[in-house]
Amino acid sequence: MDDEAVRALARRGVVLTEDARAAGLDDRALRTARAAALMTRIRPGAYVDAQVWAAMSDEARYRQTVMAAARTLTAPVFSHYSAAALWGLPLVGRWPESVHVVARGASGGRSWRGVVVHGTDLDPPTDVRDGFTVTDPATTVLGVARVAPFATGLAMADHALRAELTTSDALAAGAETLGSRRGAARARRVVAAADARAESVGE
């Protein structure tokens, strides 16, 4: 294995398996690079420079993982935690390992190769953030609030209001559409408690 070739490739950012092959590095070379702590696999078929990865914060690592998934998925709509990371919403605790997307007609909550697919009957409201299609801030906050602990949902809702990414009315309207879906009651409690004046996570 040519260490310099590996380092040069890693400097490009996220390296997919096909990128490595195009540069003359086969699967064995990638395994050797991982064993030598030159590269780190961040999701199936995606690698980054090991030193760069080690220096990243938990949030930055998760954002990098989401961006890597964007290169391998077909027209993904990022949702839940993944959309939250791209919107810059804070998380109480550690970011997950899985990437979250939403797809119309998909069976909810199924996971494949590190991607959790949330099904929906209707196309959710979306925006483009950093070049990626994501659920809009209100939908993102409500999505996380349904599946995460109350404190996590509240921290994101407070921040989204304070940063003027969404409004209390938009959150309330979105919460009403949830009906009796799983986690809807918790999401509505988050919306009721959300306060743009809260200045720190969990305040």
pLDDT of residue 88: 97
Across the chain, mean pLDDT equals 90
- Check whether 109 has a pLDDT greater than 80: no
The β-bridge relationship of strands 99-104 and 39-43 is unpaired
The model carries a pTM of 0.87
Q: Which of 4-13, 84-93, 185-194 has the lowest mean pLDDT?
A: 4-13
Residue 143 burial (10 A CB sphere; 0-12, 13-18, 19+): buried
- pLDDT for residue 203 is more than 60: no
User: What does the pLDDT read at residue 121?
Assistant: 82
Burial class (CB in 10 A: 0-12, 13-18, 19+), 54: exposed
Q: Is the pLDDT of residue 39 over 60?
A: yes
pLDDT digits (tens, 9 = 90+) for 72-106: 899 999 999 999 999 999 999 999 999 999 998 76
pLDDT band at residue 190 under the 50/70/90 scheme? very high
Percent of the chain at pLDDT exceeding 90: 66
* Distance in angstroms (rounded) separating the CA atoms of residues 145 and 18: 37
| Residue 157 one-letter amino acid | A
Average pLDDT over every residue of 115-138: 94
Mean pLDDT of the region 112-139:
92
* pLDDT of residue 23 exceeding 60: yes
Residue 45: partners with Cβ closer than 8 Å, 6 or more residues away: 16, 17, 72
Q: Using 50, 70 and 90 to split pLDDT, how confident is the model at 142? A: very high
Q: What is the mean pLDDT of residues 159-169?
A: 98
**Domain limits of the chain?**
3-55, 58-193
pLDDT of residue 196: 92
Report the alpha-carbon angle 178-182-183, nearest 5: 80
pLDDT at 1 over 60: no
pLDDT-based confidence at residue 9 (cuts at 50, 70, 90): confident
Name the residue with higher pLDDT: 9 or 126.
126
